[in-house]
Structure 1
Amino acid sequence: MKKAASLRDAGPFQSVSVTDLADNLRQGKVTSGELTERALNAAREFGPRINCFVTLDEKGARRAAEQADAELSSGCDRGPLHGVPVGVKDIISTAGLMTGMGSKHFAGHVPNTDAAVVTSLRSAGAVIIGKTHAHEFAYGPTGDIAVTGPALNPNDISRVTGGSSSGSAAAVAAGLLPIAIGTDTAGSVRIPASLCGVVGMRPTSGTVSPAGVFPLSRTLDVIGPMAGSVTDTALLWRAMVSRPDHTGVTGPWLPLRVPNSPTQSPLLRVGEVKCALTERVSYHQIEALQIAVSALVDSGAVTVEVPIPEVDECGRVHQAIQSAEAYALHQDRVESAPDLFDPEILRQLRAASEVSGWEYVLAMQTRDRLREQVLAKLSSIDLLVMPTVPIEAPLIGQRELQGENGWTSTREALKSMTVPWSLLDLPAINVPVVVNGAHMPCGVQLVGKPGCERQLLAAAAALELRLETG
């Protein structure tokens, strides 16, 4: 298959780590002002070609960069993100900067205050370049529905980015930004991370404050980091965390305990998830999983197959909870201004309105039961591994599949592997895996225990190191 135009790593931050940027800033090799101009120039040049930005905050970014340079020069060091450019998903409030939720309903909306996570990023010295594309109201896994049009996958601009944190994944994959943040309700960080070929993590709920983020499902929503590497993802997550005592991370900025060589990883028991869903995976995604499992074993981990049939129940339960809560949030808009919704989003909301009260209550009870059962199976396991998505990135606008591995719906396929961990509230991270002959990026998903993000990130970093060194 001939690949359409690619903008993968077109920008100035390709293969440049946050650690390197931080070191260069402190050694005087570069200023935050210079990094900010590089990011703004790249956003203006390449951003429109993949539609990954909604709004740029040029004045605000330059002002923040000037402050970062002054502080670093005076000895005030806010941590590794101090002076580093970052993108923020367009459903996360930014004071004085348009936040449109990807919808006509919020055209021209400018919040008066920052979301809590934005306050955390500013406190860490990060420079917010602008707002990144979001699927309308974060209500979709494709990333191709928004008032500003579809986001385009930098690896092949005829393909979707995945959603709903579409612009954040695309901007990082294109090298326009080193880091960005998104939200995840059914996989909205992990799906675009996998389809675009970057790292993205869904943390345990409560680790990052949701204040100031437009909700989709208050039960299921979380905010997650996205970056080009696991270490950069960890640094961004640490800056986002609102209550460190709830995450197992306390004290000063600590590096991940990543081994110096790929054969020095700590002994971990990793369970390979087995269920009906994991039998419905495309060839290249299966190969990615096999490569990752082999790398984990080579790194010293013990891998075992773990049957988890509960995973197969999660989709319908998640759908009931998300649908009921999404419609409750949008009922007034559906009734008063339905024409302002994209037709697909309106259809989804009208279908969501059919979830009854008793179905919602039963779904919440079933969620508790499934979580208890799955956690019991994890008592002797440190982490789980499975594909992040079962298919490659579909074409823009593609909603039907030809029955490959039993999939006929693009939307259902894309979120099938991520939904279980959103429902069960387990932290999960996408790690890119290079598969020879694959047309589009592939990835695997590591899943940890609640509140064990540090262990999850360390294991993901060890896997990434092994994959890079072979």
Structure 2
Amino acid sequence: MSLVKPSHAGYFCGQSVVELAERLRAGSLTSIELTRAALDSIERLNPTLNAFVQVDAPVALAQARKADQLFAQGVDLGPLQGIPVAVKDNIDTFDYVTTYGSAHFEGHRPSCDALCVQRLREAGAVIVGKTLTHEFAYGPTGDRSLQGAARNPWDSRCMTGGSSAGSAAAVASGMVPLALGTDTGGSIRIPAALCGVVGFKPSFASVSLEGVFPLSSSLDHVGPIANNVEDARLLFEVIAARKVAPAPEARPLRVGWISAGSFGPVDAEVDRQVYYVALQMFGDALQPVGDLAPLAAAMKDTLLTLQRAEAYDVHAERMLEAPQLFDQEVRERLELSQEVRGWQYIRAQAAQAQFKAVMAQIFEHFDFLLSPSVPITATAVDAREVRVGAQSIDVRAAVLSHTSAWNLTGLPAISLPAGQVRGMPVGLQVIGAIGGDDRLLQEMARL
């Protein structure tokens, strides 16, 4: 499923962290060299792609120098030691300004790292900078931020998707081999799919959210963006502070294909391409799931209620005191969020529990569920309507349509590169059972 290199390609484009780690330990490569390669790629590509919102070369090189010194002393902190990593700008870092993509926090410098960043440092990774987030991570397009719009490495006229916009663009373009993102309705998987890389949303609460600016407390997740599944696993193991369990003995898989239309309109070419890749991967194990449309519609309504209520709780004082500092689209979403009633939120919480139970029953019959990650290819930056077949639909609703249900139910889900349609990347989404992160990662790495 590898793609040719994008139009804008840096040093790490398509590179394997596993292989880079082997070279570091063999002494044929240093962390200083890798970090300089990252900085050089950022300097060359970022003016076009706007993936990074802050980079500090002396800070990054000091981390790399320390990693090399530890190697020289025979100290090995693990496979990410000396590897450049980018961190989304809604995740706290004590040594980099963290704005959450908003004028409300322009120039803000956190007092300490988020726990996931602390774990990266303890593993010897080199934090090279912060990547663009849609303002407060409240948008799936990645083109509404204090720092502007991130742009797609395959065509800089197009959006990356969001809200982990800069992280996906940074990895897809080869500025860095790994990046951290967050995912509340698809914010890792959407840009990963539209930029042609791997994006993994773990099971709910499997990675700590301490030090991550909240969007929706019952839906937020932290996870990796990488060139391949094995690299995503390495980053997941660090931020989850545990090893992925070995894969069980291979046995026939039961894989369900979610039919086009269940979660909304799908571009016919995208559906054909992603289904073709799914067939190549799973063959006769791939079976139709059945009509999930009624379930999907109810899940969407429940998620919107939870997200709106919880997002407004986070921003109520800012909306009262300085609403003009929000991007207009984000402010409008928060104004809608204000309308959610207490009884609606309580009912949505009860419905969320019911949907989790329904999905547990479905996964008694399947090991994985499959669908396109995103039902369209990347649209132009700032586009808000897109044609899908005979329909004109909202871009934001389209890109979220196939991903958000798995935030509501807390299931692990990964977007894998699945080729191209009309010259732009598309992704295959694979969803696992609750708590099935290890099996999902191991099986996808094996295929």
Shorter-chain TM-score tier: over 0.9
- Counterpart Cα distance in 2 of 1:233 and 1:249: 11
Say whether residues 1:445 and 2:440 are aligned partners.
Answer: no
Kindly state the Cα deviation for residue 96 of structure 1 after the two structures are TM-superposed: 2.6
Kindly state the Cα deviation for residue 458 of structure 1 after the two structures are TM-superposed: 2.0
Task: Name the amino acid aligned to 1:281.
Answer: V
Deviations 1:144-202 (A, max 9, x none): 01111100001011110000000000000101100101000000000000000000010
Q: 1:291-330 to 2 correspondence within 5 Å?
A: 291-298=276-283, 302-307=285-290, 308-309=292-293, 310-330=295-315
Task: Name the amino acid aligned to 1:249.
Answer: V
- Counterpart Cα distance in 2 of 1:258 and 1:8: 40
Say whether residues 1:375 and 2:360 are aligned partners.
Answer: yes
Q: 1:225-374 to 2 correspondence within 5 Å?
A: 225-242=224-241, 244=242, 249=244, 266-274=251-259, 276-278=261-263, 280-298=265-283, 302-307=285-290, 308-309=292-293, 310-374=295-359
Task: Name the amino acid aligned to 1:439.
Answer: G
Deviations 1:425-449 (A, max 9, x none): 10000001114x5231011100001
- Counterpart Cα distance in 2 of 1:158 and 1:280: 24
Identify unmatched segments of 5+ residues in structure 1: 1-5, 251-255, 260-264, 464-470
Task: Name the amino acid aligned to 1:426.
Answer: L
- Counterpart Cα distance in 2 of 1:182 and 1:330: 21
* SS in structure 2 of the partner of residue 277 of structure 1: coil
Say whether residues 1:109 and 2:108 are aligned partners.
Answer: yes
Assess, with a 3 A threshold, how the Cα gap between structure 1 residues 393 and 335 changes in structure 2: closer, same or farther.
same
Kindly state the Cα deviation for residue 234 of structure 1 after the two structures are TM-superposed: 0.8
- Counterpart Cα distance in 2 of 1:293 and 1:166: 26
Kindly state the Cα deviation for residue 8 of structure 1 after the two structures are TM-superposed: 4.0
* SS in structure 2 of the partner of residue 441 of structure 1: strand
* SS in structure 1 of the partner of residue 94 of structure 2: coil
Kindly state the Cα deviation for residue 455 of structure 1 after the two structures are TM-superposed: 1.0
Contact in 1 for aligned 2:91/2:212 (Cα 8 Å)? yes
Assess, with a 3 A threshold, how the Cα gap between structure 1 residues 295 and 190 changes in structure 2: closer, same or farther.
same
Q: TM-score, normalised by structure 1?
A: 0.90
Task: Name the amino acid aligned to 2:427.
Answer: G
Task: Name the amino acid aligned to 2:239.
Answer: M
* SS in structure 2 of the partner of residue 443 of structure 1: strand
Task: Name the amino acid aligned to 1:346.
Answer: R
- Counterpart Cα distance in 2 of 1:278 and 1:343: 28
**Where does residue 386 of structure 1 map in the other structure?**
371
- Counterpart Cα distance in 2 of 1:112 and 1:412: 36
Task: Name the amino acid aligned to 2:30.
Answer: T
Contact in 1 for aligned 2:263/2:296 (Cα 8 Å)? no
Contact in 1 for aligned 2:201/2:414 (Cα 8 Å)? yes
Contact in 2 for aligned 1:281/1:405 (Cα 8 Å)? no
Assess, with a 3 A threshold, how the Cα gap between structure 1 residues 36 and 461 changes in structure 2: closer, same or farther.
same
Kindly state the Cα deviation for residue 337 of structure 1 after the two structures are TM-superposed: 0.5
Q: 1:396-435 to 2 correspondence within 5 Å?
A: 396-402=381-387, 404=389, 406-435=391-420
Contact in 1 for aligned 2:263/2:401 (Cα 8 Å)? no
**Where does residue 262 of structure 1 map in the other structure?**
none
Assess, with a 3 A threshold, how the Cα gap between structure 1 residues 407 and 424 changes in structure 2: closer, same or farther.
farther
Kindly state the Cα deviation for residue 402 of structure 1 after the two structures are TM-superposed: 3.8
Contact in 2 for aligned 1:8/1:173 (Cα 8 Å)? no
- Counterpart Cα distance in 1 of 2:309 and 2:428: 30
Deviations 1:321-377 (A, max 9, x none): 000000111011111001101111111100111111111111111111111112101
The sequence identity of aligned pairs, in percent, is: 41
- Counterpart Cα distance in 2 of 1:249 and 1:293: 24
Q: 1:150-299 to 2 correspondence within 5 Å?
A: 150-242=149-241, 244=242, 249=244, 266-274=251-259, 276-278=261-263, 280-298=265-283
Q: 1:50-129 to 2 correspondence within 5 Å?
A: 50-129=49-128
Kindly state the Cα deviation for residue 297 of structure 1 after the two structures are TM-superposed: 2.9
Kindly state the Cα deviation for residue 266 of structure 1 after the two structures are TM-superposed: 4.4
Identify unmatched segments of 5+ residues in structure 2: none
- Counterpart Cα distance in 2 of 1:376 and 1:10: 44
**Where does residue 129 of structure 2 map in the other structure?**
130
Q: TM-score, normalised by structure 2?
A: 0.95
* SS in structure 1 of the partner of residue 299 of structure 2: helix
**Where does residue 444 of structure 2 map in the other structure?**
460
Kindly state the Cα deviation for residue 279 of structure 1 after the two structures are TM-superposed: 6.2
How well do the aligned residues superpose, as a CA RMSD in angstroms?
1.8
Deviations 1:68-91 (A, max 9, x none): 111112111111111000000000
- Counterpart Cα distance in 1 of 2:7 and 2:119: 29
* SS in structure 2 of the partner of residue 207 of structure 1: coil
- Counterpart Cα distance in 2 of 1:216 and 1:20: 36
Deviations 1:258-289 (A, max 9, x none): 99xxxxx6421111124743562112221222
**Where does residue 3 of structure 1 map in the other structure?**
none
Task: Name the amino acid aligned to 1:53.
Answer: F
Assess, with a 3 A threshold, how the Cα gap between structure 1 residues 16 and 323 changes in structure 2: closer, same or farther.
same
Assess, with a 3 A threshold, how the Cα gap between structure 1 residues 68 and 137 changes in structure 2: closer, same or farther.
same
Kindly state the Cα deviation for residue 209 of structure 1 after the two structures are TM-superposed: 0.6
* SS in structure 1 of the partner of residue 393 of structure 2: coil
Kindly state the Cα deviation for residue 451 of structure 1 after the two structures are TM-superposed: 1.4
Count of paired positions: 441
- Counterpart Cα distance in 2 of 1:71 and 1:458: 30
- Counterpart Cα distance in 1 of 2:278 and 2:226: 22
Kindly state the Cα deviation for residue 403 of structure 1 after the two structures are TM-superposed: 5.7
Contact in 2 for aligned 1:143/1:160 (Cα 8 Å)? yes
- Counterpart Cα distance in 2 of 1:14 and 1:406: 36
